Amino acid sequence: MRILLIEDDTELIDSLTYQLGKEGFSVDVCPEASEGLGYMTGGGYGLVLLDRMLPGMDGVSLLKDARRQGNDTPVIVLTAMGQLDDRIEGLDAGADDYIVKPFAFGELMARIRSVCRRPRTMSLDREISYGGLCLYPHGKRLSGPGGECVLSRREAELLEAFLRNPGRVLTREALFLKVWGPAVAVEDGNLDNYIHFLRRRLRALGSELRIATVRGVGYVLEGEEEQ
């Protein structure tokens, strides 16, 4: 599983990168909050370890922005701020867990295992609109200029990722993680098949949006002005 570590303490970065690597995790590091949201959205991570006190923007604000954009990647907040009100604020902002520095690596691993056991659900009820399309994730309904259709579960989850990130290149790894999850072995061609299905859906609904291939990387949802 890939873990994103958003942290600016170099000693802690070195320590966690080494120890998590020994546990079989792949760790990417982002030391600045200003770039953290982009990493979370497009990186295909199974977990984010987020420092609360970051230069430029605090981790709680970053987390709120990510959740507002529909990002549901599990997040464990790492912080020296251990007061009850601080923990409540972090959890209310959308954190899945909260661990106070300094912490034992064994405790962090236990929290990672606990968070990763929890099922992740799609965003419910609230529709997602972009470029003349409107997706209702819970009912898997998609409407466009030319009518309406019902999507399969994987089509809906895949399209949700694109509609929440228009114009942003989504890697193949990120899309596999979003639609199939981190623990499922999937043939590479399955993603291409579902992209084909979605392109056909968009044409049938008269949409001007296009899912473009970025060779060797992934796909991007383009509007008319970007084509």
Which of 95, 117, 139 is where one domain is finished? 117
Q: How many CA atoms lie within 13 A of 79 on its CB side?
A: 24
Please give the Cα distance from 25 to 55 (Å, whole number). Answer: 26
Decide if pLDDT at 11 tops 90: yes
CA-closest candidate to residue 67, choices 42, 47, 93: 93
Q: Is the pTM of this model over 0.75?
A: no
Count of domains forming the chain = 2
pLDDT over 70 at 85, yes or no: yes
Residue 98 near residue 90, CB atoms below 8 Å: yes
Question: Is 153 inside any structural domain?
Answer: yes
Q: Please give the share of the chain, as a percent, with pLDDT higher than 90.
A: 42
Confidence (pLDDT) at 125: 45
pLDDT at 225 over 60: no
Is the N-terminal amide bond of 145 cis, ω within 30° of 0?
no
Which domain-ending residue is among 82, 117, 152? 117
Euclidean distance between CA atoms 165 and 11, whole angstroms: 33
26 and 105 both lie in a single domain: yes
Q: Are residues 10 and 112 in the same domain?
A: yes
Domain that holds residue 152: 128-226
209 and 157 assigned to the same domain: yes
The pLDDT tens digits for 154-206 are: 898 899 889 988 999 999 888 887 787 765 567 778 899 999 999 999 999 99
**Does residue 151 share a domain with residue 57?**
no
What percent of the chain is predicted at pLDDT more than 70?
90
Q: Are residues 109 and 9 in the same domain?
A: yes
